[in-house]
A and B are shown apart, each in its own frame.
Chain A
Amino acid sequence: GAVVSQHPSWVICKSGTSVKIECRSLDFQATTMFWYRQFPKQSLMLMATSNEGSKATYEQGVEKDKFLINHASLTLSTLTVTSAHPEDSSFYICSAGIREFGTDTQYFGPGTRLTVL
């Protein structure tokens, strides 16, 4: 149980285009989903937290107009990188949060590698 999928697993796009990444909780409902970015050989940096049906909360330094997050249902959140540029090339990882045994637990997706040419 508690499986999170991401689609696509990798994407290559031209500079200036927009890319949408999906994050799905397959066998549970997640009221909160998180989006992280990871540059090569670096740690995960939290980009934003999204709750179903409400606007996402972005971390300091993350442009909300550039990284559009939609959390339309309890099992799906999407991250759209608008007008992507080479510096947006990164590994994007989502997680879905549930409350288990009194503790908030996050289950992570396998990640999406974005390369912007």
Chain B
Amino acid sequence: SQQGEEDPQALSIQEGENATMNCSYKTSINNLQWYRQNSGRGLVHLILIRSNEREKHSGRLRVTLDTSKKSSSLLITASRAADTASYFCATVKTGANNLFFGTGTRLTVIP
């Protein structure tokens, strides 16, 4: 399976704290993307990082990519209750356009 793995599976933090989620994958990639999904809803694209990039920022989000370790991390700073959702990484293999999703991290931010 090309599916990646994320850890932790679940994370519960207090509002204002930072949340870090990790993603590992198996194949060489063109890019890696992070998505957010509220319960029972569709996916919202958060950020894309290309294989030749090491770090990217977008608002309170910071993504890192280590292609040598085949891993990525998503950091959400100063978390808010509204950040409560499931977060998925997804990879695009080199030479392909399919997305393969990680197992997801369920984040709960306690007000």
| A residues with CB within 8 A of B | 6, 32, 34, 36, 41-46, 49, 91, 93, 95, 97, 103-111, 113
Task: Enumerate chain B residues within 8 angstroms of A34, measured Cβ to Cβ.
Answer: 98-99
A46 to chain B, nearest CB (A): 6
For residue B88, CB closer than 8 A to chain A, the reply is yes
Smallest CB gap from B48: residue in A? A103
Residue in B48, B99, B102, B104 whose CB lies within 8 Å of A46: B99
* One of B39-47, B57-65, B77-85 contacting the partner: B39-47
Task: Enumerate chain B residues within 8 angstroms of A107, measured Cβ to Cβ.
Answer: 45
Given contacts A42-B103, A110-B41, 15 further A-B contacts (CB under 8 A): A32-B97, A34-B98, A41-B106, A42-B104, A43-B104, A44-B101, A45-B3, A95-B43, A95-B99, A103-B50, A105-B45, A108-B35, A108-B45, A109-B42, A111-B40
* Cross-chain contact B42 with A43 (CB below 8 angstroms): no
A10 to chain B, nearest CB (A): 9
Instruction: Decide if the interface of chain B is mainly helix, strand, loop or mixed.
Output: strand
Task: Enumerate chain A residues within 8 angstroms of B43, measured Cβ to Cβ.
Answer: 44, 93, 95, 108
Mark B63-103 against chain A: 1 for CB-CB distance below 8 A, else 0.
00000000000000000000000001000100001111111
Interface size on B, as a range, is 20 to 34
Task: Enumerate chain B residues within 8 angstroms of A105, measured Cβ to Cβ.
Answer: 45, 48
Task: Enumerate chain A residues within 8 angstroms of B3, measured Cβ to Cβ.
Answer: 43, 45
Q: How far is the CA of A103 from the CA of B53 in the complex (A)?
A: 14
